[in-house]
Structure 1
Amino acid sequence: MTSKGDNRNCRLSSALVRAALAEFIGTYILVVIGNGSVAQSQLTNGKQGDYFTINWGWALGCSLGILISAEASGGHLNPAVTLALAVAKDFPWKRLPVYWLAQYFGALVASGSVLGVYYEAILVGKRDGKFRINANSSEPEPGSAAIFANYPTPYSSVITGLVEETLCTMIFMLIICVVTNAKYSKVPSFLQPLYIGFTLLAMGVAYGSNGGYALNPARDLAPRLVTYFGGWGPRVFSFRGYNWFWIFLVGPHVGALLGVGIFHTVFFLPEQTVVAFDRTDSQLPIVNYEYAMANLPVNKSSAIKITRQESHEEYVGCRVVTAM
């Protein structure tokens, strides 16, 4: 006979597999639409797409990827987001390697799909039988390799690229926390993908021109690997003397950790419970005193009483008691 423990483990394994597949498919949708929008714009010399259609491509890919995967996996689609949530104890560490594998593999397959669909058009850009990628930063752009990964404009420094990537990911992660935390914003689940997609759109509109706005290690590294093995060679990593590609690995992780840290230390006060002051067994929520004072309900039929709880000679919170 099968024990209850075996059944529980089977259900947990099945749920994890389902979540991994959801992360794979969601990340695939994100990258196949995002990189596809770049390919269409570049390979038609801007006739069937421009910088803003690329911004919209990534935003829509993000929204649709989250919409598809959110119910099964939470719709992370981003290793930096998964790590930040794990650090904030909003996600179990034991699931992190599975999510990362699914996300990177989804981005890898997606960029391979884009290469396959646009391969004939990309072949036109070959010179002397090789895909073109400029070897130094004095050239305006690295050719068709930029369809897949992020490369700087000639004037962009490493510091600018790192600061920009960190800042944008920090804002992106902060909005994700605000939108998806039901105890803070109560945004309906069906609207959350739109808010997050619009945030990605905002980052592209504001800061995409210097060197791209990956905000996602899987979205840059996996496509870069595809170009490495797809004919562009080691120059996709050695561009600027190996002093560029790492920005899109380090920046998103640092930015996501900053974003989740700001949310949990500045904006979100976790709800706590204490025994009521009348020494009964009832439990009442503790909230910040200043927050409670600023958000008293406007209701003439209610008498509001705010009391402070003293703990270790410090006022740590308050409870709001409403009596009809």
Structure 2
Amino acid sequence: MSNSQPDPLVRQHTNDIELGVSDVLQRHVTRHVVAPKPVSQKKLNFEHKRPRILREMMAEATGVFFYVFPGIASVASFTLATTNGVGAQVGIPVFGSLFQIGWAFAIGIAFAIITCAPVSGGHFNPAITLCFAIWQGFPWRKVPHYIFSQIFGAFVAGLFLMACYWPQIQAAKAIDLKTHGTAVYNGGVASIFCAFPNPDQTNQGYLFFQEFFVDSYIGIVIWACLDPANPFVSPTSAPYTIGIAYAAMVWGFAGNTLSTNLARDLGTRIVAAIFFGGEAFSYNNGYSWISILVNVPATIFATGYYEFLIRDSLQKIQGGHAEHEGGEEGLTRYLSKVTGEDIPTENQTSERGIMNAANGVYEKQF
């Protein structure tokens, strides 16, 4: 090919690609993407006047919605498809399983974190918010705002699900009332929205233990994923790791009654109470309070377990993710005490001395 002839790829040029998903092409091949319009001063003024707490509350509510809605929608598709007389309206006679439901919640959690965590931190669970306040210095004044937003997000998810499946839910409710005299039981249409124990699960202590264990398991995984000293979880993998931890517990225990989140349960249980009666709260001698509240002490226990027995705060400090409460001098005094060496602190050499001392502590611990 002579130098005077254009490259065939140039002749195939299709001009600029519009802004959108095509943005990712810039990371792989050289393509022209239409530049976004400049940010107007009006938009900046609006965003400046918008309260930060409002953004955080909306992010928490939206994140819980993103996590709860696909989960309960998956439960609905499974429950309604297996209800006599309603399955034909949904389509496939046996549509879904606990495996499908677990993945729906897992992917919903991942989407919630990806979408909203950059704004609010991505708590999406009142127990996690409380644990951040207890262990990580999250402002206590924000705790009520976050918890209200989380419950509200689940409540809206329940309402949207009810609106989407209204004809099928009404048909299933009529069948439940005719067959069982109530729609509030495990497998009944009300169980689409919140957990109810199996008929043979009358031992409240057993139900408490199961919920406490499952929530503790999830809590430890979450706290490990959020530990900046954990080399096995990257920012891009954390949403999916947390989601799969939740799914694993769904696969193991959802058929045996499971809740895992105060906001997810209470928000949708209110919707169930509105449409199916107060029995949504009183069923099985008030099991609902185990379903709603056990998540909080279980998660505090789990995160406390991690904080006291597993976390390595010196590794966090060395990685630049935290600092000693006494500053550089406090860290120097600690390292001098541990290593038995006199570590200088007044020049560049001292900085290397601190890092060398920290590395020495790691080697001894290892």
- For this structure pair, what is the TM-score category when the shorter chain's length is used for normalisation? 0.7 to 0.9
Q: What TM-score comes out, normalization by structure 2 length?
A: 0.70
Contact 1:27 1:107 in 2 (8 A): yes
Residues 270 and 133 of structure 1: CA distance in aligned 2, closer, same or farther (over 3 Å): farther
Is 2:101 the counterpart of 1:101?
Answer: no
State the alpha-carbon separation in 2 of the partners of residues 119 and 105 from structure 1.
20
Is 2:244 the counterpart of 1:173?
Answer: no
What's 1:302 paired with? none
State the alpha-carbon separation in 2 of the partners of residues 287 and 66 from structure 1.
34
Q: Which has the larger radius of gyration?
A: 2
Residues 12 and 36 of structure 1: CA distance in aligned 2, closer, same or farther (over 3 Å): same
Summarize deviations over 1:115-153 as a string: whole Å, max 9, x none: 1101100111233996987669xx973510100000111
Identify which of 196, 209, 233 aligns with 1:151: 196
Residues 36 and 266 of structure 1: CA distance in aligned 2, closer, same or farther (over 3 Å): same
- 2:118 aligned counterpart, secondary structure: helix
What's 1:68 paired with? 115
Summarize deviations over 1:149-196 as a string: whole Å, max 9, x none: 001112322112111111111111111111112134462212110000
| Cα-Cα RMSD | 2.7
- 1:209 aligned counterpart, secondary structure: helix
Residues 155 and 130 of structure 1: CA distance in aligned 2, closer, same or farther (over 3 Å): closer
Displacement of 1:216 in angstroms is: 0.3
Write the letter of the residue equivalent to 2:285: G
State the alpha-carbon separation in 1 of the partners of residues 303 and 110 from structure 2.
20
- 2:174 aligned counterpart, secondary structure: coil
Residues 291 and 31 of structure 1: CA distance in aligned 2, closer, same or farther (over 3 Å): same
What's 1:312 paired with? none
Identify which of 201, 224, 241 aligns with 1:195: 241
After superposition, residues 63-142 of structure 1 pair within 5 angstroms as: 63-127=110-174, 141=186
What's 2:304 paired with? 261
Bigger strand share:
1
Summarize deviations over 1:259-314 as a string: whole Å, max 9, x none: 1101110111323412462444335267698753254xxxxxxxxxxxxxxxxxxx
Displacement of 1:29 in angstroms is: 0.7
State the alpha-carbon separation in 2 of the partners of residues 74 and 131 from structure 1.
46
Write the letter of the residue equivalent to 1:175: V
Contact 1:133 1:145 in 2 (8 A): no
Identify which of 238, 241, 251 aligns with 1:205: 251
Is 2:329 the counterpart of 1:292?
Answer: no
Instruction: Report the number of matched residues.
Output: 281
What's 1:315 paired with? none
State the alpha-carbon separation in 2 of the partners of residues 27 and 16 from structure 1.
17
Contact 1:134 1:143 in 2 (8 A): no
Displacement of 1:249 in angstroms is: 2.2
Write the letter of the residue equivalent to 1:35: I
Is 2:87 the counterpart of 1:43?
Answer: no
State the alpha-carbon separation in 2 of the partners of residues 288 and 140 from structure 1.
58
What's 2:9 paired with? none
What's 1:238 paired with? 282
What's 1:314 paired with? none
Write the letter of the residue equivalent to 1:249: I
Identify which of 217, 223, 244 aligns with 2:262: 217
Summarize deviations over 1:5-32 as a string: whole Å, max 9, x none: xxxxx96973322211111111001111
What's 1:7 paired with? none
Write the letter of the residue equivalent to 2:186: E
State the alpha-carbon separation in 2 of the partners of residues 221 and 160 from structure 1.
21
State the alpha-carbon separation in 2 of the partners of residues 200 and 258 from structure 1.
17
Residues 279 and 51 of structure 1: CA distance in aligned 2, closer, same or farther (over 3 Å): closer
Summarize deviations over 1:221-271 as a string: whole Å, max 9, x none: 1111111112x11111111122x0001222100111011101110111323
Runs (5+) with no aligned partner, structure 1: 1-9, 296-324
Contact 1:135 1:239 in 2 (8 A): no
State the alpha-carbon separation in 2 of the partners of residues 132 and 11 from structure 1.
57
Q: What TM-score comes out, normalization by structure 1 length?
A: 0.79
Write the letter of the residue equivalent to 2:105: W
Residues 266 and 108 of structure 1: CA distance in aligned 2, closer, same or farther (over 3 Å): same
Runs (5+) with no aligned partner, structure 2: 1-46, 83-92, 315-323, 325-330, 337-341
State the alpha-carbon separation in 1 of the partners of residues 193 and 215 from structure 2.
19
Write the letter of the residue equivalent to 2:290: I
Residues 205 and 11 of structure 1: CA distance in aligned 2, closer, same or farther (over 3 Å): same
Deviates more, 1:219-228 or 1:124-133: 124-133
State the alpha-carbon separation in 1 of the partners of residues 256 and 103 from structure 2.
18
Summarize deviations over 1:75-101 as a string: whole Å, max 9, x none: 111111111111113422111111111
Contact 1:220 1:248 in 2 (8 A): yes
After TM superposition, which residue ranges in structure 1, 4 or more long, deviate above 4 angstroms? 10-13, 128-136, 285-291
What's 1:274 paired with? 332
What's 2:319 paired with? none
* Percent identity (aligned): 26
